[in-house]
Amino acid sequence: MLKLMLLLLLISFVNVVHSDTKDIIVSYNGYYSTKFRQNLLPKTFITKIQARPIEFSDFDLVKIESGNFENFTRAISKIKVILKISEDKTHFRNLNGFKKVSLGPNKFSSKHYLDIRQIADLIRADRLWMKGFMGEGIDIAVFDTGITRRRTFFKNVKSIYDFTNEGNSADLIGHGTFVAGLIASSRRRCSGIAPKSNLHIYKVFTNQQLSTTSWFLDAFNMALQSKIHIINLSIGGPDFTDEPFMSKVHEITSNGIIIISAIGNDGPVFGTLNNPADQGDVIGVGGINLEEKIAKFSSRGMTTWELPEGYGRIKPDIVTYGSQIFGPSLYGGCRSLSGTSVAAPVITGAVAILLSSIPEERRRNPAMIKQILAEGAKKLETNASMFEQGSGKLDLPASFYYLQKYLPKISFFPSYIDYLECPYMWPYCSQPIYSDGLPTIFNITIFNGYGIGGEIINELIFEPFEDDNGAFLDVHLEYSHKIWPWSGHLAIFVKIKPEASNFNGTSSAQIRLKVKTTNKIHETIFKFRVKIIPTPLKSQRILWDQFRQMRYPPGYFARDNLEQKNSPLDWNADHPHTNFKDLYEHLRGNGYFIEISGYPLICINLSSYSMLVIVDPEEEYFPAEINAIQMAVKNDNLNVIIFADWFNSTLIKKIQFMDDNTGKLWFPETGGCNIPALNSLLNVFGFAFGDVILNGKFEFGNSIINFSSGSTLIKAPKNAKLGMAKLNDIKNT
């Protein structure tokens, strides 16, 4: 019972108290006055209409009794100006910073000052200050925990708004104050990067680190009304399905406002990107330490929206200093914090300086800013891949140079793919491609510096380079016909033709596309080079079943390892290039080739592989798939390796919870693994897993194996060879 109580406590982002009401966001097709909106709503089913802080709004927040939800939905479906309704989600966040040094106002001295690396010095902001560019005329909204009442560090705080239910804009945590200080502190100690920029403080998190979607929507609307240039979001989370929030982000950037967001502090695991930093129209910022290495805490790619059928995009966009950085404290001194929530305002301050160097009419172009940041960035002299560092480390003077000579253009991120550039091009460069293999997918982001929208016209043209064996490439292209807002995507599926089954070398090609913007047509080219090897032996080829993987969001999928306390959710995709990176590299280091399937196994020629690897499957198997696997094992010597996590129906019921903000009961879709579905496959081979959950360690060969929240084998064929270990039943721990 103690264990079950612990699991409930881990789900700390909601209250487990039942609620008979729902908080519903009603979205309109435009901005309407309070009176007009309230006259539209069917008040018969509404308990309360929450007042909006802005007279003209594009949404309302209403409270309705759960029993009236269907009647309410039917009533508003007849109102043409209402676009949709959605739940007002609760957002919790970790400040992701830790205190290193505190220099109070009476402890500061010249000696202490010499010991502090000022962030403005680290990014060479002084070079632009000497030219007279310090952020003057740039309005920055800081979405955070408010600001201290003792604003001795700030000269240009133009407005302060509290969008929370606390009724108090004061920052009692210190996070919002610190972030604002990194951007625009005007004091010599703990100096800001853009000290002459205008700060607008938008408190969207309570002092308990709680927020809601509706508070963010109000703050975004205020930013639109106030003609803000830059929004700093030192926040984020794994949910990329909060549709009202994401749509509002698109609206904000489509109005020329630049959003800069922390990529997250869930590193060093891959596949840990936070939203909204993982959106194409947002600048996602990762962190490096003072040794110019990727900070261990910094989240990293790839994006997981596109899985299982596709492949993720590259994020973060850029990295900068985020470890042991000094900024103002609540009480007038300086302190040190670390986190990507520290790195994001560094980029915000840098962008403010850059914008202050150009006329107002050129400032509202998020794609342009992304392009000049990428062009100026310097690749880290480490083994960090593009999925860790994006374009590289911020180089403010270089980006300033590119901005001054900037001409609108269409660009790509990454700008090219080259299998010969390792480790930056990991994971692509880590495994050559070959004939008979599954397609390799490059997911490329397109940026449109000409304007908010564009259209890819005609068919894209694939042009193989004859002088570099381009004829061996078999390429399929998918792309967004519309580029909006500011960005689109190009997916390149690459296979190798049968005639290259014995070829060893490189192969290159380019994709030519035309983009129409404001009645003009612009042509641009994306180039790539791959490494081809002879098709490996069947004994070296492994098929990874990605199609079986399901995760949060959108459903509630519980964590695989119940002992891991930092998150109750399974959200890292269980992919060889995300949280199974170590296993992938171990297999590659031992001469195996891993092909990743995002489709049902009946679409794959299983006879080409020696091993099928199934890891923590949540999705069920089709009868035809079970038959195909059975036949491949019997006739083609296919080996099936299964990693099965926990499943226990009693425990699953225990970790359900009620989100009293939405009135929705969250019930796990399955355990760490869908054992009943897996048993439907194993049954044809005479095996079955049970529902006892075990933890512990055991010896296997020369290794000590850590067995975490695993299943037990309860059925096996008569002649099966089984491993035995003495482990602990978690109900007894």
What are 402-415's pLDDT values in tens digits? 999 999 999 999 99
* pLDDT value of position 568: 79
Q: Percent of the chain, pLDDT > 70?
A: 92
| Class of 21-87 in CATH | alpha beta
Q: What pLDDT is recorded for position 659?
A: 60
Q: What is the pLDDT of residue 117?
A: 66
CATH of 123-404, one of 3.40.50.200, 3.40.50.300, 3.40.228.10, 3.10.450.50: 3.40.50.200
Residues labelled as active-site residues: 144, 175, 341
DSSP 614-640: EES--SPPPHHHHHHHHHHHHHH--EE
Please state the pTM of the whole predicted model: 0.93
* Residue range 468-524, pLDDT digits in tens: 999 999 999 999 999 999 999 999 999 999 999 999 999 999 999 999 998 899 999
Residue 92 confidence class, pLDDT cut points 50, 70, 90: low
Q: Taking the alpha carbons of 294, 300, 301, 303 in that order, is the dihedral positive or negative?
A: negative
d(CA 555, CA 279): 20
In tens, the pLDDT along 676-715 reads 999 999 999 999 999 999 999 999 889 999 999 999 999 9
How is residue 338 written in tokens? 């670390």
The H or E element containing residue 477 is strand 473-479
Residues 244 and 237: their CA atoms lie apart, in Å, by: 15
Q: DSSP label at 86?
A: E
Number of residues written out for the chain: 733
Higher pLDDT, 566 or 47: 47
pLDDT in tens, 455-471: 999 899 999 999 999 99
- Would you state the pLDDT for residue 474? 99
Domain borders along the chain are: 21-87, 123-404, 411-421+428-532, 538-732
393 DSSP 8-state letter: B
With vertex at residue 570, the alpha carbon angle to CA 567 and CA 571, rounded to the nearest 5 degrees, is: 95
Rounded-to-integer distance, Cα 120 and Cα 430, Å: 37
Q: How far apart are CA 41 and CA 123, in angstroms?
A: 52
Residue 121: count other Cβ atoms within 10 Å of its Cβ: 11
Consecutive H or E run containing 247? helix 243-254
Q: Categorize the per-residue pLDDT at 109 as very low, low, confident or very high, splitting at 50, 70 and 90.
A: very low
Of 42-46, 439-443, 660-664, which range is least confident?
Answer: 660-664
Residue 123 confidence (pLDDT) above 80: yes
Q: What is the structure's pLDDT at 106?
A: 36
Q: What is the pLDDT of residue 182?
A: 98
Q: Taking a C-beta distance cutoff of 8 angstroms, is the pair 532, 505 a contact?
A: yes
Kindly give the pairing relationship between strand 139-144 and strand 157-162.
unpaired
CA angle in degrees (0–180, nearest 5) for 453-521-351? 45
Chain Cα centroid distance, residue 307: 13
Distance CA 68, CA 47 (A): 10
Quote the radius of gyration of the chain (alpha carbons, Å).
27
Helix (H) or strand (E) holding 21: strand 21-32
Q: How far is CA 650 from the centre of its chain?
A: 32
Cα(281)–Cα(231) distance, integer angstroms: 13
What is the rounded distance in angstroms from the CA atom of residue 125 to the CA atom of residue 121?
A: 6
As a whole number of angstroms, the distance between CA 398 and CA 392 comes to 12
Query: Lowest-pLDDT range, 31-40, 99-108, 118-127?
Result: 99-108
Mean pLDDT of 36-45: 94
**Please, what is the average pLDDT of the chain?**
91
Q: What pLDDT is recorded for position 138?
A: 99
What's the confidence (pLDDT) of residue 19? 54
Q: Quick one: average pLDDT of 207-230? A: 96
pLDDT, average across residues 12-30: 69
* Dist. CA 414–CA 393, nearest whole Å: 15
Tens digits of per-residue pLDDT, 583-599? 999 999 999 999 999 99
Tokens 């001409």, located at residue: 407
411-421+428-532 fold = Immunoglobulin-like (2.60.40)
Q: Report pLDDT for 9.
A: 24
Token duo for residue 18: 């039942």
Angle of helix 340-356 relative to helix 175-184, nearest 10 degrees, comes to 30
DSSP 523-556: EEEEEEEEEE-PPPPGGGEEEEE-TT---TTTS-
The pLDDT tens digits for 272-292 are 999 999 999 999 999 999 999
Q: Packing angle between helix 675-682 and helix 623-636, nearest 10 degrees?
A: 40
Residue 94 pLDDT > 60, yes or no?
no
Decide: helix, strand or coil at residue 577: coil
Would you state the pLDDT for residue 278?
97
The H-assigned helical ranges of 308-365 are 340-356
